[in-house]
Amino acid sequence: MSPVLVLVLVLLNSGYCLDGLSTKNSKRPDVVNIGSILTFDSAIGKVAKVAMEAAIDDVNSNPVVLGGTKLKLTMHDANFSGFLGIVEALQFMETDTVAIIGPQSSVTAHVISHIANELQVPLLSFAATDPTLSSLQYPFFVRTTQDDHFQMAAIAEIVEYYEWREVTAIYTDDDYGRNGISALADQLATKRCQISYKAPLNPEASRSDIMDVLVKVALAESRILIVHTYPSWGVDVVAVAHHLGMMGSGYVWIATNWLSTILDTYSLLPSGTMESIQGLITLRMHTPDSVMKTKFISRWKKLTNKQKANGPFGLNTYGLYAYDTVWILAHAINAFFNHGGNISYSNDSRLSELDGGNLNLDAMSIFDGGNLLLDCILKVNLTGLSGHVSFTSEKSLIHPAYEVINVIGTGIRRIGYWSNYSGLSVVPPETLHGKPPNRSSSNQQLHSVIWPGQTIEKPRGWVFPNNGKQLRIGVPNRVSYREFIEEVPGTDRFKGYCIDVFTAALNLLPYSVPYKLIPFGDGVNNPSCTELVRLITTGVYDAAIGDIAIITNRTRMADFTQPYIESGLVIVAPVRKSNSHAWAFLRPFTWRMWTVTGVFFIGVGAVVWILEHRINDDFRGPPRRQIFTTLWFSFSTMFFSHRENTVTPLGRMVLIIWLFVVLIIKSNYTASLTSILTVQQLSSPIKGIESLITSNDPIGYQQGSFARNYLSEELGIQESRLVPLNSQEEFAKALEDGPRKGGVAAVVDERAYMELFLSSRCEFSIVGHEFTKSGWGFAFPRDSPLAIGMSTAILKLSETGELQRIHDKWLMRSACSIVGANLAVDRIQLKSFSGIFILCGLACLFSLLVYFVLMVCQFSKHYSETSDSSGRRSRSAWMQTFLSFVSENEVEANNRSTRRQSEQASNSNTGEGESTNSAKKIRTEVSSNRTVSFGVGTS
């Protein structure tokens, strides 16, 4: 094998830049100076410093890389200062420095890049991730790490994956923060999402400044919080948020890779810090696993043990990119020399014109080989600790990828990956590079997340804003019933019952609601509330408040709060006074009720007489006396003053039931008569909605009310009968004129309006019953959380009595006292008492039936049938005998039975003792107690 071929293979294996391989034999210097600008005490700087020192040792110990040339790395500490970083860059330019690794800060990189452009010294930064540094404005700036453009693309895809639409951005207000969030906004726009609120932080913000900003964030709508800041005080942001209660359920915190940097660098964070970041999602630059990376990680502990000042610390991804940056620069310098490059400088004519001065600017020279070295850097192709290293035409590393991490407990859990090639996945991106790209939504996957508040349920991601734009709230511009809503003349304010309820409910919400009330209507006619609600759906208004009835077609367009006042449709008609008269005592009952009651009084008396007269001397005597006694007994039961006693069980049963009936009738009669005589009675020819529908008279309604559609569409009333009225005066005049004079027979409107109308007009009244059930509420867009919050507030107002107080303030009127006035009470109908009358009637019939059966049995036992001339009695004679038996006194009947038995005993010699004893027993029972079971004598 020829020496030339061996050299070519060595160069290929080393990744040298071979394009246009020069045949010149450039002399390689023994040492090449490179510089580095870091912040040694930062999480990124301390790791990068150790990693670059290790890389310099590895490069210089391998003679193949630079052919015997050594790299000399000079590090300067910027100490978190952009000014020091600029000064140190100028110092590097005064020496023979061919390239600068850094700066660490994106802000400093913007300034130094201008110097690099002027002096043609390449800048290789492994930490400046500002997307705008990749522009054509900075040709000598080379980013050797992932661009924030891709990190923001990853966050945008996460937001889209969880179906959120708005986020809040918390960021450092400098080039790094602003440009990163700008890139996020562009990426979100491609997903039809947006940043709803931006919360910039001063780069040197104190804890108090952070708290002020986060208080405003807590008042914003979005609960998806993106934190893009520096590792140095990013933890302070989440700590303050935890203190403010912003790390609970409902919040989503997504941190850019500053958080993963801290977690990787400091393995043991304080327990308070870990508690404040529970449930957060953060990104970490993905570096594929490899043997080289594993060996370096094993070597890391030995490297950091040498750090006496900072002590051992972990290896973060910036350390891997810092190590690879040294190797990138080493390979590029080798290719630079292979292309015949020489390290030489020339004066900058524009600096020479300044004559140096105290700043010694003329000491800075242009690096003649700067363009060649830059070209070699961008053509490097090698495999490092961070994976395959190569640059695209936009000077970005190929295959950008991030790990998506969830902070849980004392550690972290990787829930997936994001790559520019395949999007979100649960498998490493490098395994997908050999497959066709698939960015379909079904292919995007992440493992489950434990969110802040220790919940696995995906947060909704937003609440109603507290400091967002003002809500445009439509308010009906009424021309009547201004007690409900009225625009204050000469101002943009409103007053009235509905406004007070709305304001009181807002004051109970746990957050403030900026709003502006906008009148809806021309001020001449009452506007349509249905049209007002419809305008919410079109975006003209964000909400609508006022006297808006909650009806079906409106609920299809918007969400309503809990009703704050009940207000169904009622009928108002003219009424006349119905004064008492001499026969007012007859008014409680209808004539049918009087008739049936009288019949029952007489009937019950007759039944009791039938059941009692054989055994009870109070119901015996001459016929005239018996009739009088029966009538007196019957009607005296009305006052429970009857003197006659009932001795038979059947008679007592009938009497008890009848007294119960009398008690009910008497109570209702007394109550009705009291109302008639003490309460002013009103009457109207219209009894309710049924009588109004069947008539052909015109009906009035309030213009703009839903009553018109209800009457015509639901009740089928002809629209020609419906008369729109605009004010209370028009209501009164139309009702007074009546149908014969061009007015209306009645007005149909909501109860809330009519009660206010009737408070000063006693000649009208509500007739019939409320025939719809509805209420007034405030309207909001569909799924608005404010509708739920306001409903809860209205319920609280009702429970505390505040709602009633507001009602009394605006809607209680005393101009017309209608206390004691009422529509004429309906007379008591027979059907109201049909049940107890039927019960009493059945009791009477049952008692009579039992009595008749017992009488027949007794009659058959004590009287044997006698034959007439043919040997049989006639049927009429039998009936006369039975009636005589029933009407005679039971004692006499028993005596006669005894005599008959004695006569029979004298004719028979047997059974004499038994007959005598039986007769004695009968006489004894009759003389001792004339009352026997069911009113019959002994047998």
Angstrom CA distances, 828 to 691, 787, 900, stand at: 20, 48, 58
**How far is the C-alpha of 370 from the C-alpha of 355, rounded, in Å?**
24
Question: Mean pLDDT of all residues in the chain?
Answer: 81
**How far is the C-alpha of 88 from the C-alpha of 94, rounded, in Å?**
10
**How far is the C-alpha of 304 from the C-alpha of 495, rounded, in Å?**
72
User: What is the pLDDT at residue 333?
Assistant: 95
| Residue 310: both structure tokens together | 């900072």
**How far is the C-alpha of 478 from the C-alpha of 627, rounded, in Å?**
75
Confidence bin at 461 (pLDDT 50/70/90): confident
pLDDT in tens, 282-294: 999 999 999 999 9
Q: What is 514-577 written as a DSSP string?
A: -EEEEEES-SSSPPPHHHHHHHHHTTS-SEE-SS-B--HHHHTTSEE---SEE--EEEEEE-EE
**How far is the C-alpha of 359 from the C-alpha of 346, rounded, in Å?**
19
What share of the chain has pLDDT > 90, as a percent?
40
User: What is the pLDDT at residue 151?
Assistant: 96
Closest alpha carbon to 767 in 570, 578, 576, 579: 570
Q: What average pLDDT does this structure show over 33-58?
A: 93
Of the listed ranges 295-304, 633-642, 873-882, 898-907, the one predicted with least confidence: 898-907
* Residue 826 or residue 24, greater confidence: 826
DSSP 3-state of 251: coil
DSSP 3-state of 255: strand
Question: Which sign does the torsion angle of CA 521, 526, 532, 535 carry?
Answer: negative
- Rounded to 5 degrees, φ, ψ at 452 are -55, 140
Is it true that the peptide bond before 103 is cis, omega within 30 degrees of 0? yes
Q: What average pLDDT does this structure show over 33-46?
A: 92
Confidence bin at 310 (pLDDT 50/70/90): low
**How far is the C-alpha of 682 from the C-alpha of 673, rounded, in Å?**
15
pLDDT in tens, 369-383: 999 999 999 999 999
* Residue 44 or residue 468, greater confidence: 44
User: What is the pLDDT at residue 402?
Assistant: 96
pLDDT in tens, 157-191: 999 999 888 899 999 999 999 999 999 999 999 98
Of the listed ranges 92-106, 680-694, 911-925, the one predicted with least confidence: 911-925
| Residue 636: both structure tokens together | 């005296």
**How far is the C-alpha of 171 from the C-alpha of 213, rounded, in Å?**
10
Instruction: Specify which of 343-357, 781-795, 808-822, 829-843 reaches the highest per-range mean pLDDT.
Output: 781-795
Instruction: Specify which of 145-154, 460-469, 668-677, 899-908 reaches the highest per-range mean pLDDT.
Output: 145-154
DSSP state of 934: G
Q: Where are the alpha helices (DSSP H) in 317-473?
A: 317-338, 349-352, 370-378
| Residue 740: both structure tokens together | 């014969």
| Residue 324: both structure tokens together | 């690879």
What share of the chain has pLDDT > 70, as a percent?
79
Model pTM score: 0.57
User: What is the pLDDT at residue 813?
Assistant: 64
DSSP state of 621: S
DSSP state of 935: G
pLDDT in tens, 876-903: 666 666 666 666 666 566 666 666 656 6
* Residue 98 or residue 611, greater confidence: 98
Could you tell me if 266 and 315 are in contact, meaning their C-beta atoms sit under 8 angstroms apart? no
Q: What is 117-181 written as a DSSP string?
A: HHHT--EEESS---GGGGSTT-TTEEE-S--HHHHHHHHHHHHHHTT--EEEEEEESSHHHHHHH
Residues in the chain: 939
Residue 655 has pLDDT above 80, yes or no: no
Torsion of CA 45, 48, 54, 58, to 10 degrees: -140
pLDDT in tens, 2-20: 333 333 333 333 343 433 3
Q: State the pairing for strand pair 401-408/281-285.
A: antiparallel
DSSP 3-state of 682: strand
* Residue 351 or residue 838, greater confidence: 838
User: What is the pLDDT at residue 7?
Assistant: 32
Of the listed ranges 344-353, 377-386, 387-396, 721-730, the one predicted with least confidence: 344-353
| Residue 145: both structure tokens together | 């790490």
**How far is the C-alpha of 769 from the C-alpha of 569, rounded, in Å?**
9
* Residue 673 or residue 159, greater confidence: 159
User: What is the pLDDT at residue 534?
Assistant: 94
User: What is the pLDDT at residue 576?
Assistant: 67
**How far is the C-alpha of 127 from the C-alpha of 46, rounded, in Å?**
12
DSSP state of 711: I
Residue 758 has pLDDT above 90, yes or no: no
Instruction: Specify which of 130-134, 352-356, 399-403, 895-899 reaches the highest per-range mean pLDDT.
Output: 399-403
694 by Cβ neighbours in 10 Å (0-12 / 13-18 / 19+) ranks as: exposed
- The residue ranges of DSSP E strands in 792-933, in sequence order, are 821-823
Angstrom CA distances, 190 to 152, 198, 548, stand at: 12, 19, 40
* Number of helical H runs and strand E runs in the chain: 31, 34
User: What is the pLDDT at residue 937?
Assistant: 37
* Residue 332 or residue 479, greater confidence: 332
| Unique residue bearing structure tokens 């942001």 | 237
User: What is the pLDDT at residue 620?
Assistant: 65
Closest alpha carbon to 134 in 399, 378, 424, 423: 378
Could you tell me if 215 and 244 are in contact, meaning their C-beta atoms sit under 8 angstroms apart? yes
User: What is the pLDDT at residue 867?
Assistant: 38
User: What is the pLDDT at residue 660?
Assistant: 78
- Rounded to 5 degrees, φ, ψ at 930 are -85, -5
pLDDT in tens, 385-406: 999 999 998 899 999 999 999 9
Q: State the pairing for strand pair 471-476/543-544.
A: parallel
Q: What average pLDDT does this structure show over 645-665?
A: 77
- Strand partners of residue 455: 451
128 by Cβ neighbours in 10 Å (0-12 / 13-18 / 19+) ranks as: buried
- Strand partners of residue 483: none
pLDDT in tens, 199-234: 999 988 899 999 999 999 988 878 999 999 998 888
User: What is the pLDDT at residue 826?
Assistant: 54
Per-residue b or e along 67-105, where b marks 16 or more CB atoms closer than 10 Å to that residue's CB: eebebebebbbbebebebbbebbbbbbeeebbbbbbbbb
pLDDT in tens, 509-566: 866 678 899 999 888 888 999 999 999 999 899 999 999 999 989 999 999 999 999 8
DSSP state of 99: E
**How far is the C-alpha of 600 from the C-alpha of 94, rounded, in Å?**
129
Q: What average pLDDT does this structure show over 431-442?
A: 82
User: What is the pLDDT at residue 821?
Assistant: 42
**How far is the C-alpha of 300 from the C-alpha of 293, rounded, in Å?**
10
User: What is the pLDDT at residue 330?
Assistant: 95
